[in-house]
Amino acid sequence: MRHNISLFCTALTITLTMGAASAAQAATSGGESAADIWEMVLGASWVVQLVLVILILFSLMSWAVIISKFKVLSDARRQNADFEEVFWHAGSLSVAKQQTRHLDASPLATIFRLGFAELGKVMRLGTDDRGALASGVMQNLQRALNRGQASEMTRLGRAVTFLATCANTAPFIGLFGTVWGIMDSFRSIGVAKVANLATVAPGIAEALVATATGLFAAIPAVVFYNHFNRRLQVLEAEMDSFRQDFLNLVERDLMRRAGPPVDAVRPADTGIPA
């Protein structure tokens, strides 16, 4: 048992030493390094090549998600600011709806349109019981706004979880390629019965390329996943704030009058700053 452990430690030491020597030699090769990498990739085993293809696909898909989400979240932030500027200075909800119709990327505008539509439906029903009307309006409006917020959060967060998947799995996929390359190196040593650089270098090179590719795919994914999560939290806080303000606005108006038309609710009369 001790003899086997000693042989394993010796072989691992030789492998790591020669891998370091191979890396140092590659660093001094200058312009030939890129060609050498392509040669290593093309000469790698089919398992390592499959690992590299998977990691490259992960990287391409991650960057596609990053670019797409960056645009979506930037548009949402910009149009939210435009919506709030218009809404809190509008003379009525109908005017606010007309003036914010073009803000399709704003989650606040979407939530408002759902709330406005639900408010109009309930107010058109009419009732002689003022308390029942106020209670029904607030409950229905609350559900509509909650549904709108959940829908917008789902839309904004779509595909962001793929970045987390890529960040968590890409290093392990690269590690699999690394392990496979080291296995090839040990097998080459056993076949050739000679522990020299020429024997183990191809396997070590394959292992290093797989590891580097895995990190190349994972690092941007984890960085932008955290960045997008933070921006989604900010947008969710904005939606929560607007939802509460809108409910307060309607409830105050219902407390002043019994069953007013929708246009009687005036955002500009609340004194809430833009």
Looking at residues 231-246, what average pLDDT do you find?
92
The yes-or-no verdict on residue 260 having pLDDT over 60 is no
Q: Which DSSP state fits 225?
A: H
| pLDDT > 70 fraction of the chain, expressed in percent and rounded | 68
pLDDT interval class at 118 (50, 70, 90): confident
Q: What is the DSSP string of 229-249?
A: HHHHHHHHHHHHHHHHHHHHH
**What CA–CA distance (Å, rounded) separates 257 from 247?**
16
Residue with tokens 């390592």: 48
3-state secondary structure of 219: helix
Q: What are the residues whose beta carbons fall under 8 Å from the beta carbon of 264, sequence distance 6 or more?
A: 92, 253, 257
pTM above 0.85, yes or no: no
Q: Where are the alpha helices (DSSP H) in 28-159?
A: 32-43, 46-87, 93-99, 107-125, 130-157
The 3 state secondary structure assigned to 124-158 is HHCCCCHHHHHHHHHHHHHHHHHHHHHHHHHHHHC
Alpha-carbon distance 156 to 107, whole Å?
9
CA 130 and chain centroid, separation: 46
**pLDDT number for residue 160:** 93
CA 229 from centre of chain: 7
pLDDT in tens, 66-90: 999 999 999 999 999 999 998 888 8
Higher-pLDDT residue of 11, 137: 137
| CA 233 – CA 224 distance, rounded (Å) | 14
Q: Using 50, 70 and 90 to split pLDDT, how confident is the model at 20?
A: very low
Report d(CA 238, CA 246) in Å as an integer.
12
pLDDT for the residue numbered 43: 64
